Structure 1
Amino acid sequence: MQPTKAARLLAAGAALTALALLSACGGGTPQHENEALASKAPVQPQAKKQQEDVLPGMPPVQDPHDLYAADRPGLLSPAVKDFPSRVYVPNTNSDTVTVIDPETYRIIETIPVGRQPQHVVPSWDLKTLWVNNDLGNSLTPIDPRTGKAGKPVAVHDPYNLYFTPDGKYAVVMASMDRQLVFRDAHTMKVVKSVPVSCYGVNHADFSMDGRYFIVSCEFSGELLKVDTARMEVLAQRKLPLHGAMPQDVKISPDGKLFYIADMAANGVWILNGDTFAEPAFLATGKGAHGLYISRDSREMYISNRGEGTISVFDFPQNRLTKRWHLPGGGSPDMGGVSADGKVLWLSGRYNSEVYAIDTRTGTELARIRVGSGPHGLAVYPQPGRYSLGHTGIFR
């Protein structure tokens, strides 16, 4: 694509953002009680549920109108209901994991792990947290019941980690190796290594039926569409912006669109995963990085790492409605939403800190000093039947 077209895309996105923020922050009508509150479930029509032809072995889709229906407050799986609530923060430069009590905002433990831990990832069966020691070429298991770390498992270049919806395989995002490595979800033994021609595979999310997933390639500005069962790349697409750096990936609650944060484009690409056609663009803020869905499936929180803000996208309204500024700035990166939906937890990548943010008001509740280079923190436990990986994608 010619640069002029990319420029038009970005300009249009910026205009949409400006209009959305003016509408949200101007003197419009007051927000109704049932709108955009993380602690409330959305009002939905009583439509007849349809059956989804899902990936064999994948748990059935609970609600075809809302992929995140199992993520409501209080819907803790029996596998995790006795786990203490904790925030696990991998400190990339310190080679440690900081453990925070979210009730008191106090650090209760610092766990030594392998070299350059990037993300803390809940296993598909919800029983284990895997610390991705990228340069240490290992995964450190943490028992979320006791908070104790186990013996590291040798895994090469585990920048990030996902699980197929049927629970059979772990998918290692081997960024520097330029591979997607399918491993046994329990033993982590290699089943199939899939070479890719893009650079910097890092984040992903799965389609509603689990039959394919979309992968972002940070260093070459590309996206991949991967067949889950066949473990093959189906398609590859260059993003329509020179220097694009796609990051986190999240599917919409209705399963129709994928949202891909881009820290160089300063916004979010909006992709139809089925057609894999050229995506649209929405400007959100400098250094857009992490994407997190509210407990009522109404909103998506977008961390803008380069400017210390969080943009809020409203799915029913299909627009940005809020922008929260961290007092004193910061570098909000990766994280997750508390089990009750009331707090958004984000790491401060370049500030050696973690932020706790009220999801109703955007108020900063706490700012906690941790190790150097905090990255993909996990809030655990969370509602959901199973985990697809990263810092917590639950269905």
Structure 2
Amino acid sequence: MNHHSSFRRYPMFRARVRRVVFGLTAIVAMVLGMAGMGASTAAADTVIATIPAGTAPLGVAITPDGSFAYVTNGGAGTVSVIDTATNNEITTVPVGDSPFGVAITPDGSFAYVANRGPGTVSVIDTATNTVVGAPIPVGEIPSGVAITPNGSFAYVTNSGSGTVSVIDTATNNEITTVPVLGIPAGVAITPDGSFAYVTNFVAASEVSVIDTATNTVVGAPIRVGADPAGVAITPDGSFAYVANNNPGTVSVIDTATNTVVGAPIQIGPDPFWVAITPDGSRVYVVDDTADEVSVIDTATNMVIETIAVGAAPRGVAITPDGTRAYVTNYDDNTVSAIAIDQCLGSLCLDLGSLTGAAPVRAASSADTPTV
């Protein structure tokens, strides 16, 4: 039996099992907490697996059911497919030269991969893990990819052309290009699909906002820190978090006013990419010089912990259930799987790994950042 196909056939079953385990574990946590049992000292998010990938892994995206992570290998011209149940690479898919950004359609059927070398986008059928159709020509050095919530369009930043390509996913043709400032890098789309936020790396140090109804830039560019790279939007659409590579900060944009709110959040030397948990409570930022991931509490916009990973982390994605983060380590040719602590009131537990999980614990004062 094909192991990949057998897991693919029952994605809803796997999701239901995970939800049931979450619920049962929560009940156990509450019982132990009330009885004063099973508590331990405060623990942080934990790397539970280091997964070999291809050469120079960069981007990462996770299927909507959480079953598989797709990792672009920039130095190999391939995409690694990781089974998140076992944290093993189950196959590699040849794509174009120097793949970077990757995004998966909301129904989980296809992965769109930006190939920087030839200036194309490859489309992978996730049921068969094969490339379908011819590569889609876009601009020069395509980097970031984001797909609208309805799955109809893919937005691709062309770092060498100063544009954003819009691909109709029904025909897999580029239907228009949108000029932006500087060197466009990251792209994220609001949950309602109305706007795409594009970071303008190096030259502009700004974020452009594209109205997806007209595919035009609206309003003045939003000034952030120097060399903005990754961008992610909170699940409620209220804020965009932008990693500023040069000053080592994260800027927070209020999407209602398209203005930066608060002071820049100090991270480390070189923050690069960003991901936000499904509940919107935490932001994960990779730092490719410090070899770590910083975790920001969105309630306070303070860094509450850092997690050591592999060398030169570049990409990060979080599973839809919020229990794990996957980080690509460019210089190590690996992917770090991080178990994310889950807190229920005063009780915290590690649910990122259903095997070998840390014991249920009571939250302590060490969990609260010192102001």
Pair in the same fold by TM > 0.5:
yes
Distance 1:83 1:134 in 2: 36
Distance 1:228 1:214 in 2: 10
Distance 1:160 1:83 in 2: 32
- The residue matched to 2:212 in structure 1 has which SS? coil
Q: Which of the numbers 144, 147, 168 marks the counterpart of 1:227?
A: 168
Q: Is 1:143 aligned to 2:79, yes or no? A: no
Q: Which of the numbers 116, 137, 152 marks the counterpart of 1:211?
A: 152
Distance 2:135 2:78 in 1: 19
- Equivalent residue runs for 1:139-288 within 5 Å: 139-157=79-97, 158-196=99-137, 198-239=139-180, 241=181, 244-264=182-202, 265-280=204-219, 281-288=221-228
Q: Is 1:331 aligned to 2:270, yes or no? A: yes
Alpha carbons of structure 1 residues 204 and 138: separation in structure 2 relative to 1, 3 Å = closer
Distance 1:289 1:315 in 2: 18
Q: How many residues align?
A: 289
How big is the shift at 1:317?
A: 4.1
TM-score (norm 2): 0.69
Distance 1:172 1:267 in 2: 25
- 1:366 alignment partner in structure 2: 305
- Equivalent residue runs for 1:1-395 within 5 Å: 78=16, 80-81=18-19, 104-157=44-97, 158-196=99-137, 198-239=139-180, 241=181, 244-264=182-202, 265-280=204-219, 281-326=221-266, 329-382=268-321
**Per residue, is there more strand in 1 or in 2?**
2
Deviations 1:109-153 (A, max 9, x none): 322221000022202443111222121233222222232332434
Distance 1:237 1:299 in 2: 23
How big is the shift at 1:80?
A: 4.9
8 Å contact kept, 2:155–2:165:
yes
Alpha carbons of structure 1 residues 254 and 350: separation in structure 2 relative to 1, 3 Å = same
- 2:34 alignment partner in structure 1: none
Paired letter, 2:215:
F
Paired letter, 1:341:
G
Name structure 2 gaps, 5 residues minimum.
1-13, 23-41, 323-334, 336-371
Bigger RCO (CA 8 Å, 6+ sep): 1
- The CA RMSD over aligned residues, in Å, is 2.9
- The residue matched to 2:16 in structure 1 has which SS? coil
Distance 1:366 1:214 in 2: 32
Name structure 1 gaps, 5 residues minimum.
1-75, 85-101, 384-390
Alpha carbons of structure 1 residues 79 and 248: separation in structure 2 relative to 1, 3 Å = farther
TM-score (norm 1): 0.66
Paired letter, 2:193:
G
Paired letter, 2:49:
E
Paired letter, 2:294:
Y
Distance 1:209 1:121 in 2: 17
Distance 1:155 1:211 in 2: 22
Paired letter, 2:281:
K
Q: Report percent identity of matched pairs.
A: 26
Paired letter, 1:78:
R
Distance 1:156 1:236 in 2: 21
- 1:62 alignment partner in structure 2: none
- The residue matched to 2:75 in structure 1 has which SS? coil
- The residue matched to 1:376 in structure 2 has which SS? strand
- The residue matched to 1:136 in structure 2 has which SS? coil
Distance 1:202 1:103 in 2: 36
Distance 2:84 2:58 in 1: 18
Distance 1:209 1:159 in 2: 23
